[in-house]
Amino acid sequence: MMPAAQAVEALIHEYSKLVFQTIYGLTGDWEESQDLTQDTFHQALKSIDAARAKSGPQFRAKAWLLQIALNTVRMQRRRRNIYRFIPFSRLQKEESSESGGTTQPGNMDVLNERAAPVQPAGYGAIEGIDLEAFVAEQDAVQRTLAHLTEPLRLCLLLSVIGQFSTREIAQLLDIDEAAVRQRLGRARKQFQRFYERESGEEIEPTGGIMRNDSIETLLLRHYGNAAPAPLDLEERLCASIRIQAEELDKEQQVITHLRERRVSRRHAVRLVAIGAAGLGGLSMVIEGVRMLEAAMTGQDVTKPAYS
């Protein structure tokens, strides 16, 4: 069996764009989608061995990876209910320019508007297109998707972008196939109506020969495999996975060493907390404690929370 790090790198080369574009379609945030894509593959690295051992020859990497991606988005939204983050340097710079050089405290409306940045300049471009028309169309598609409820938007993206069948979507979302078909029908109708309102152009809900684009054509153009993607996405993800793999190896060595010495759980947790706190990372303390306690009691901490 291929080592976990190599297996995940192979998945990056095959599915990184699919994962990114699916997450981008759900969040509408270019920068955040890159972070969540990286988080998805980090989680995949931690859990791929357990997933392959459990599924055996029936292991379906694409569906399994998308499950992790959806769970990553949901967890991020839960965290967002607790706090919202916006780079202070960006806010300060924009506030200063708007106020003639004097920084004024922004209100919540300003923060909420700027906490969801649009796709920035410098992304992977498509040659031979009218960039102004492409960006305008992309903006209309993005606003249209935002009008759809989460269940409808998710089913539509999995069907068109992920190319999953009705049965596969039902398994991914743990719902009936009939519910998937119903959601897809409603999603297509609402997408058509909202897109016509946003762009002033008519589209067809299904493919075929037509004067205007279909829903599939629009979504694949802006969220498909050939759509613009972050520069060097695969290379950066692979480099991140290699670093993560080294860190996991070191953690495993510490766990093995503590087991051999039969260190008490309380003392082991204290060692992890002190070491992580020395690096100034509260999240590292929490995650290190959780993984160490679970490992010392034989629990499986690699299973994705989403199922």
Task: Give residue-wise pLDDT tens across range 97-112.
Answer: 555 555 454 455 544 5
Residue 305's pLDDT is 43
Cα 117 to Cα 110: distance, rounded to the nearest angstrom: 12
Report, as an integer, the average pLDDT of 275-296: 56
Helix intervals (H) in the chain: 4-27, 30-55, 61-80, 88-98, 108-114, 131-147, 150-160, 166-173, 177-199, 215-223, 233-261, 265-278, 282-296
Tokens representing 23?
A: 């997450």
What type of residue is 247? E
Per-residue pLDDT band for 210 (boundaries 50, 70, 90) equals very low
What type of residue is 33? S
Q: What is the DSSP letter of 58?
A: G
Global pTM value? 0.71
Residue 293's pLDDT is 58
Whether residue 96 is predicted with pLDDT greater than 80 in this model: the reply is no
| 191 half-sphere exposure, CB direction, 13 A CA radius | 28
Residue 288's pLDDT is 59
Q: Is the dihedral of CA 258, 263, 265, 268 positive or negative?
A: negative
Whether residue 75 is predicted with pLDDT greater than 80 in this model: the reply is yes
Map out the domains of the chain as residue ranges. Answer: 131-230, 233-296
Whether residue 6 is predicted with pLDDT greater than 90 in this model: the reply is yes
Residue 4's pLDDT is 95
Whether residue 23 is predicted with pLDDT greater than 80 in this model: the reply is yes
Architecture in CATH for domain 131-230: Orthogonal Bundle (1.10)
* C-beta separation of 21 from 223 below 8 A: yes
| 157 half-sphere exposure, CB direction, 13 A CA radius | 31
* C-beta separation of 241 from 45 below 8 A: yes
